[in-house]
């Protein structure tokens, strides 16, 4: 069930970004999707919104229905001054660990923007190494409009990618669990073993 968002709270998120722009210039919001799953890339998105942009219903992607996220994805990509969606692969997750790979995806998203930001707002309590100053914003998708927008882009893009993996590896039913460690996923892993998209480092405590 979709959680409603009051106009005052929604306005606060856009006002938060406006104050940051006054202080730092061009800002981008950055968020990730897919840190927890057992399979697939981790995604990150960076979004730059203008002062005159308002997107009704903008919220933490986890609090929105899939249909609403898809609608907002189209509106965000249309109205944003710039956006970039980037990934780090399952192999990179195994090489660098999930935090390092997430920061790598965030760095790629920031550097892939068509407009160079002067300051970055990062969802969470830690920041990646970026070529610009950045600030960690705890529960940022509830505080900043640009972080909330990035949250939606990353989530929708990753869900679409998991549908592609579902078509490539139908035996794992990725559309149903999106790669997360559900009972069904573990049952299928026990039956078929791991595919190339599974994160090997996530299975050190599990016998498949």
The domain segmentation of the chain, as residue ranges, is 7-161
> Which range is most confident: 6-15, 55-64, 121-130?
121-130
pLDDT band (50, 70, 90) for residue 1: very low
What's the chain's average pLDDT?
Answer: 93
If you average pLDDT over residues 44-73, what whole number do you get? 92
How far CA 25 is from CA of 17, 118, 140, 203, in Å, comes to 10, 6, 19, 44
Specify the CATH number of the domain 7-161.
Answer: 3.30.420.10
pLDDT tens figures, 82-116: 999 999 999 999 999 999 999 999 999 999 999 99
* Residue 133 predicted with pLDDT over 60: yes
* Residue 187 predicted with pLDDT over 50: yes
Q: What is the pLDDT of residue 11?
A: 87
Q: What is the pLDDT of residue 6?
A: 55
If you average pLDDT over residues 156-176, what whole number do you get? 97
| Cα separation, 88 vs 145, whole angstroms | 24
If you average pLDDT over residues 59-82, what whole number do you get? 93
């Amino acid at each position: 069930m979709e959680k409603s968002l009051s106009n005052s709270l929604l306005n606060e998120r856009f006002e938060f970004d406006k104050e940051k722009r006054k202080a730092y210039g061009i800002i981008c919001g950055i968020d990730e999707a897919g840190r927890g799953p057992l399979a697939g890339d981790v995604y990150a998105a960076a979004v730059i919104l203008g002062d005159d942009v308002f997107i009704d219903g903008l919220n933490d992607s986890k609090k929105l229905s899939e249909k609403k996220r898809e609608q907002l994805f189209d509106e965000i990509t249309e109205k944003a001054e710039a956006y970039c969606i980037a990934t780090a692969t399952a192999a990179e997750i195994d090489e660098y660990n999930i935090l390092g790979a997430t920061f790598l995806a965030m760095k790629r998203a920031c550097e892939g923007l068509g407009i160079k930001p002067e300051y970055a707002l990062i969802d969470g309590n830690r920041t990646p190494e970026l070529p610009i100053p950045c600030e960690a914003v705890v529960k940022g998708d509830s505080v900043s409009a640009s972080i909330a927008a990035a949250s939606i882009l990353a989530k929708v893009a990753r869900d679409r990618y998991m549908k592609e993996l579902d078509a490539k590896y139908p035996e794992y039913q990725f559309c149903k669990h999106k790669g997360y460690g559900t009972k069904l996923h573990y049952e299928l892993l026990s039956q078929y073993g791991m595919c190339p998209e599974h994160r090997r480092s996530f299975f050190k405590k599990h016998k498949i």
